[in-house]
Amino acid sequence: MVNPVLFIVVPLGLAFAIPLLKYISKKIIRFVPALAFLFNLIFALRLIPVVMDHQVHVQIGGFIPPLGINLVAGPVGMLFVVLIALVGFLVSIYAFHPIKEKDEDRYHILYMLQLTGATGVVLTGDIFNLFVFFEILCLASYSLVAYLGNRAGIESAVKYLIQGSLGSGLILIGIGLLYGQFGTLNMADIAGRIHSVQSISVYVPLVLFITGFGVEAALFPLNAWLPDAHSSAPSTISAVLSGIAIEVGLYAVLRVVFTLFGITHMMGLFLLLGVLTLLIGELCAFSQDNIKRMLAFSSIGQIGLLVFAFSLASTLGIAGGFFQLISHTLGKALLFLAAGYMIAHTGSMEIASFQGMGKRMPFTSLAFTIGAFSMVGLPPFMGFPGKFMILKAALHDGQMLTLILLVFILIATVIEGAYFFRVVQVLYFAGEDLPDRERAPVAFSRFVPMFLFTGLIIVLGIYPSLITDLLDASALELLDRPDFIKSIIP
Amino acid sequence: MNFLSEYTYYIGAFSLIIIGLYIILVKKNLMKVIIGFSIFDTGIYLFLIAVGYLREGTAPVFSKPGLDAGKMVDPVPQALVLTAIVIGVAVLALAVILAIKIYAHYGTLNLRKIKEQRW
Amino acid sequence: MRKLISIILLGMVATGLFMSISQIPFGEPGERIGDHFINQGVNETGATNIVAAVVVSYRGFDTLGEVSVLFTAAMGLGAVIGLVRRKKTHTPIEPASLIVYTGCRFLFPVILLVGTYIVIHGHLTPGGGFQGGAVIASAFLLMYLGCRGKRIRENLSRGLESLGGLLFILLGVTGLVIGRDFLFSFLPEGEAGNLISAGIIPLIYMAVGLKVGSELTGIIDHLIEDTDELPE
Amino acid sequence: MEIIAGILVLLMIASAIAAASFQDLMNAVIASCIVSLLAALLFYLLQAPDVAMAEAAIGAALVTGIFVIAVKRTKRFEE
């Protein structure tokens, strides 16, 4: 069994080593991220059966929690580690092909640091340590958004940075308030001392945390930065930002709400917030002409759906939320990669310019179509079981509010279908009169990740039972707060 | 008055946080906003250190023999602030370079004027 | 309108913060994990500076994360500035006045020395890797401002940066290799108060000092470099 | 001791307000530098010499240096 700390340390060490590796050979640098995340992927998958049985706790420096920092590799944490490693590995294959004439090594270093930060966030069991890794994730994201160095990139990065650091500052105040009252930083230890969220001095840190992490999780109304940032980053980075970064932000919110504070009575508000985010995201996506902005707004909508699912606070709802989260990560990464490849060919982000792509780039168009269908929730793709599980959970919940909100979710799905079908229609059926241009062959480094993402979406769509055990265990970890606390602080 | 002398440091920290937030939210100039972040961060550090203070305490350093461990201030917030200060300077440095690039692209630092992309 | 919303928001934040901050007693002893560090820190780590013990030993993982944040910022800065090769300008840069120049030349090694001292004595007296690294970087800042045209070689600073980070990680992994936890202090604690004591704390602080110093220097270097190619 | 702290806090708040209101960015940078320096002094009074050192070296010296470079590179006056 591999020590989970290596999932953080190995990519970090390789990232530190890249400036030195550069002196040996410039060529090998672009394979380093793939190597690191392949390592993570293999060993994380091997750790999953162990984690399903019992949580793995790792002490750092040999001090028992709450004195030292500890890592908690439970089902939730490992689910995210596998997801991050998978997306990290596949997207880094995409970058085998040199993307830009700019400094390549910095791109790879930042990319690895971004995903390492995400891995750290989902594994750590200490609130301040979570903040530190969150900062790595955010800082790498700001830099990567500005990586292309054009006007739009720099401007989005500034916006992102201002809102993100404001959020980080609020989180830090929240940590200070919690430490002042409870005298500890270990999340399980704090959770053990918060019995109910009644007094204002517990309520304020909660609000600060939700606001701070909510910026990264793109909860409405904290998501003004997202469409710009996601659309002006390089396509590979958009895939990671949409597929990993906001999900990790959501993870932090979930951890805070479920484990740290154990809230049960404010869920109606979150349900409402989720549906609001969903509707706004989908409506804005509908009115976009720019494909990357459309996908970015669609991410906002999906996050709203996830918030709705998790706010149901039932095993069924949370498991469905996790399934939909995986589906969104894989689907959105695929969509951004495919869209990015098409943009590289046409040189334009306008949807209208993709006319006739179905003939010129058949494989890429097919991958995009599958991703889009999965996003809408058509069988046999992965989005279908996800949305179905959420639907079932909401019906099972049976409250009046939930049922009313469900209607809005169905409306949002229809809107989602409308704009995705519009793109698919442009890909295949528009511009018949265009002269037949020759087919563009798919580069190998582009083909492999898109093919694997497509394959995963179809396989998991047909056999959702492959991962349901892990999802149920994850839901249980979030809901069973006393057990979580007891397993760390006996 | 008792309250004031009791909470001098908290008041200072609180005021810095609010002034910093005010600058960040209201000011239009990007450089000013970054300065606001610096002040905001300083306020947070002061708050954290004040949380760890023990009245009549000594610094948590056994520099000479005979120091009473029971009368030392809490070292944990100090460790957190050390980390946070370095993180803060990292963010500020990145913000500054982005501001310089914004100026190079747009010829202005006014945040209201550089909004090209909207929802 | 926007201003009004901001002010209302600010008022809400202020009220909330005020109410919660005033709940926290000032200067009162409480039940905190800090107590354990004060009482047991010297025994467990061998460092007389408990803050250093907390930063490097108890919460060493934070420190690893934090040097990574700085590394991220340095890399991000480089990426944003982009591919501007340093132009081989032989145009004489306006020299600073002789007094400033000589003063800087004189102060530079002294500040470097002080910075190194602060790093090395981090586990005994106040100071350590961050503070010493920052002092070292400020020596370079002085050099850039006072003696324009002097530069540290970029390759050197990037190499040191990598070495510092790798040293940290290697020290951490050694703990795993000998069958204990990551960042486990595998060296003897020695006698508290001696220069060579406190297990791996001084070593880690040196790695941190190296990394923080070279990274902050690199950041300043990037900023100055970018300034120089500005057409006035 | 408390009076000294009170005066320092007042000065600090005053410089922060000054930093907020100065139109000349260079002056605002200097004011924020003073805020950091006074904060470093307060850290010292709060028995945190480590943090005081870090704040003086990083918050007051380095950040101010970075800001000065940035202001020189961009516009000096707020518009």
Against chain D, the chains showing at least 3 CB pairs within 8 Å are B, C
Residue A156 has pLDDT above 80, yes or no: yes
* Predicted pLDDT at A289: 87
Closest chain A CA to residue C37: A67
**How far apart are alpha carbons A163 and A144 in whole angstroms?**
16
Task: Determine the average pLDDT of the residues in C37-62.
Answer: 82
Q: Which of B14, B49, B86, B119 to mutate to test the interface with A (most CBs of A within 10 A)?
A: B119
Closest chain A CA to residue C41: A67
Lowest-confidence region among A289-293, C145-149, D34-38: C145-149
Residue by residue, DSSP assigns A368-427 as: HHHHHHHHHT-TTSTHHHHHHHHHHHHHHH--HHHHHHHHHHHHHHHHHHHHHHHHHHHH
Counting Cβ atoms within 10 Å, is residue D27 exposed (0-12), middle (13-18) or buried (19+)?
middle
* Predicted pLDDT at B61: 78
Q: Does residue D31 lie in a domain region? A: yes
Task: Determine the average pLDDT of the residues in A145-173.
Answer: 89
| Residue contact C51–D50, C-beta within 8 A | yes
Higher pLDDT, A43 or A265: A43
Q: Which chain C residues touch A60 with a CB distance below 8 Å?
A: 60-61, 181-183
Q: Which of D7, D51, D68, D75 to mutate to test the interface with B (most CBs of B within 10 A)?
A: D51
| Residue contact D59–B38, C-beta within 8 A | yes
Q: Do chains A and D touch (3 or more CB pairs under 8 A)?
A: no
* pLDDT > 70 fraction of chain A, expressed in percent and rounded: 96
Helices D2-21 and B8-26 meet at what angle, rounded to 10? 10
Residues 6 or more apart from A395 whose CB is under 8 A from it?
A403, A406
Q: Which of C19, C36, C54, C161 to mutate to test the interface with B (most CBs of B within 10 A)?
A: C54
Task: Give the pLDDT band of residue C82 (cuts 50, 70, 90).
Answer: low
Q: How far is D61 from chain C (nearest CA, A)?
A: 7
Region of C176 please: left (phi>0), alpha (psi -120 to 50) or beta: alpha
* pLDDT > 70 fraction of chain C, expressed in percent and rounded: 84
* Predicted pLDDT at C151: 63
What are the residues facing A186 on neighbouring strands? A126
Q: Does residue D37 lie in a domain region? A: yes
* Chain A contact residues (CB < 8 Å to B): 128, 132, 135, 139, 142-143, 146, 149, 151-152, 154-158, 161-162, 165-166, 168-169, 172-173, 175-176, 179-180, 185, 224, 227-228, 232, 284
| Residue contact B91–A132, C-beta within 8 A | no
The secondary structure element, H or E, covering residue A366 is helix A362-376
Task: Determine the average pLDDT of the residues in A102-111.
Answer: 82
Q: At A61, phi and psi to the nearest 5?
A: 75, 5
C97 touching A, CB under 8 A? no
Cβ within 8 Å of D, C 91-150: 118, 126-128, 130-131, 134-135, 137-138, 141, 145
| Residue contact B32–D16, C-beta within 8 A | no
Task: Determine the average pLDDT of the residues in A77-102.
Answer: 83
B15 touching A, CB under 8 A? no
Would you call B99 helix, strand, or coil by DSSP? helix
Q: At A244, phi and psi to the nearest 5?
A: -120, -50
Q: Which chain C residues touch B54 with a CB distance below 8 Å?
A: 27-29
Q: Does residue D79 lie in a domain region? A: no
Task: Determine the average pLDDT of the residues in C166-170.
Answer: 86
Q: How far is D68 from chain C (nearest CA, A)?
A: 11
Q: Nearest CB to B89: which of D12, D29, D62?
A: D62
**How far apart are alpha carbons C58 and A61 in whole angstroms?**
7
Closest chain B CA to residue D66: B93
B103 touching D, CB under 8 A? yes
Q: Nearest CB to D57: which of C138, C223, C227?
A: C138
CA neighbor of A133 nearest in space, from A91, A81, A98: A81
Give the domain range for residue B26. 2-106
Q: How far is B2 from chain D (nearest CA, A)?
A: 11
* Predicted pLDDT at A152: 83
pLDDT values of chain B reduced to their tens digit, one per residue, 119 residues: 566 667 788 888 889 999 999 999 888 888 999 999 999 999 999 999 988 888 777 778 777 666 776 778 888 899 999 999 999 999 999 999 898 888 888 888 887 777 654 44
Closest chain C CA to residue D74: C227
Q: Do chains D and B touch (3 or more CB pairs under 8 A)?
A: yes
Task: Give the pLDDT band of residue A333 (cuts 50, 70, 90).
Answer: very high
| Residue contact C75–A101, C-beta within 8 A | no
| Per-residue pLDDT reduced to its tens digit, A369-394 | 999 999 998 888 888 998 999 999 98
Q: Which chain B residues touch D77 with a CB distance below 8 Å?
A: none
Q: Which of A197-211, A330-344, A346-360: highest mean pLDDT?
A: A330-344
C193 touching A, CB under 8 A? no
Q: Does residue D78 lie in a domain region? A: no
Q: Are B60 and C51 in contact (CB under 8 A)?
A: yes
Against chain B, the chains showing at least 3 CB pairs within 8 Å are A, C, D
Q: Nearest CB to A155: which of B33, B87, B114?
A: B114
Tell me the two tokens of residue C126. Answer: 């106040």
Task: Give the pLDDT band of residue C230 (cuts 50, 70, 90).
Answer: very low
Closest chain A CA to residue C71: A16
C37 touching A, CB under 8 A? yes
Q: Does residue D69 lie in a domain region? A: yes
| Per-residue pLDDT reduced to its tens digit, D44-62 | 888 888 899 889 888 888 8
CA angle B47, B51, B53 (to 5 degrees): 115
* pLDDT > 70 fraction of chain D, expressed in percent and rounded: 99
Residue A70 has pLDDT above 90, yes or no: no
Q: Which chain D residues touch C127 with a CB distance below 8 Å?
A: 50, 53
Mean pLDDT, chain A, whole residue set: 87
Cβ within 8 Å of D, C 210-229: 216, 219-220, 223-224, 226-227
| Residue contact C131–D53, C-beta within 8 A | yes
| Residue contact B4–D6, C-beta within 8 A | yes
Q: Does residue B113 lie in a domain region? A: no
> Mind spelling out the 3-state secondary structure of chain A?
CCCCCHHHHHHHHHHHHHHHHHHHCCCHHHHHHHHHHHHHHHHHHHHHHHHHHCCEEEEECCCCCCCCCEEEECHHHHHHHHHHHHHHHHHHHHCCCCCCCCCHHHHHHHHHHHHHHHHHHHHECEHHHHHHHHHHHHHHHHHHHCCCCCHHHHHHHHHHHHHHHHHHHHHHHHHHHHHHHHCCCEHHHHHHHCCCCCCHHHHHHHHHHHHHHHHHHCCCCCCCCHHHHHHHCCHHHHHHHHHHHHHHHHHHHHHHHHHHCCCCCCHHHHHHHHHHHHHHHHHHHHCCCEHHHHHHHHHHHHHHHHHHHHHCCCHHHHHHHHHHHHHHHHHHHHHHHHHHHHHHHHCCCEHHHHCCHHHHCHHHHHHHHHHHHHHHCCCCCCHHHHHHHHHHHHHHHCCHHHHHHHHHHHHHHHHHHHHHHHHHHHHHHCCCCCCCCCCCCCCHHHHHHHHHHHHHHHHHHHCCHHHHHHHHHHHHHHHCHHHHHHHHCC
Residues 6 or more apart from C41 whose CB is under 8 A from it?
B75, C47, C50, C53, C54, C58
Q: Are C6 and B26 in contact (CB under 8 A)?
A: yes
Residue with tokens 């040191």: C160
Q: Are A413 and A336 in contact (CB under 8 A)?
A: no
Q: How far is D78 from chain C (nearest CA, A)?
A: 17
Q: Which ipTM value was assigned to this complex? A: 0.91
CA neighbor of C220 nearest in space, from C133, C162, C98, C159: C133
- Cβ contacts from A onto B, under 8 A: 79
Q: Can you list the alpha helix ranges (DSSP code H) found in C22-97?
A: 33-45, 50-52, 60-81
CA angle D59, D79, B95 (to 5 degrees): 35
C74 touching D, CB under 8 A? no
Q: How far is C144 from chain B (nearest CA, A)?
A: 17
The secondary structure element, H or E, covering residue A96 is none
Task: Give the pLDDT band of residue A107 (cuts 50, 70, 90).
Answer: confident
| Per-residue pLDDT reduced to its tens digit, A235-286 | 889 999 998 999 999 999 999 988 888 887 778 888 898 999 999 999 999 8
* Predicted pLDDT at B114: 74
Residue A452 has pLDDT above 80, yes or no: yes
Tell me the two tokens of residue B6. Answer: 């009791």
- The CATH number given to whatever domain includes residue B48 is 1.10.287
* pLDDT > 90 fraction of chain C, expressed in percent and rounded: 2
Task: Give the pLDDT band of residue C95 (cuts 50, 70, 90).
Answer: low
**How far apart are alpha carbons C129 and C49 in whole angstroms?**
13
In chain A the first and final C-alpha atoms are separated, in Å, by 24
**How far apart are alpha carbons C123 and C198 in whole angstroms?**
7
| Residue contact B47–A176, C-beta within 8 A | yes
Task: Determine the average pLDDT of the residues in A208-237.
Answer: 87
Q: Are A126 and A185 in contact (CB under 8 A)?
A: yes
Residue C194 has pLDDT above 80, yes or no: no
Distance of CA C189 to CAs A27, C42, C122, C180, Å? 44, 9, 15, 16
* Predicted pLDDT at A197: 59
Residue C229 has pLDDT above 50, yes or no: no
CA neighbor of B25 nearest in space, from C10, A169, A157, A154: C10
Q: Which chain B residues touch A139 with a CB distance below 8 Å?
A: 90-91, 94
A66 touching C, CB under 8 A? yes
Neighbours of A175 (CB within 10 A): 26
Against chain C, the chains showing at least 3 CB pairs within 8 Å are A, B, D
**How far apart are alpha carbons D50 and D40 in whole angstroms?**
10
Distance of CA A36 to CAs A112, A351, C172, D20, Å? 8, 35, 18, 46
Higher pLDDT, A429 or A252: A252
Task: Give the pLDDT band of residue C232 (cuts 50, 70, 90).
Answer: very low
| Residue contact C141–D73, C-beta within 8 A | no
* Predicted pLDDT at C90: 43
| Number of structural domains in chain B | 1
| Number of structural domains in chain D | 1
* Predicted pLDDT at A154: 87
Residue C2 has pLDDT above 60, yes or no: yes
Q: Nearest CB to C61: which of A69, A179, A204?
A: A69
Give the domain range for residue D29. 2-73
Q: Which chain C residues touch B94 with a CB distance below 8 Å?
A: 73, 76-77, 80
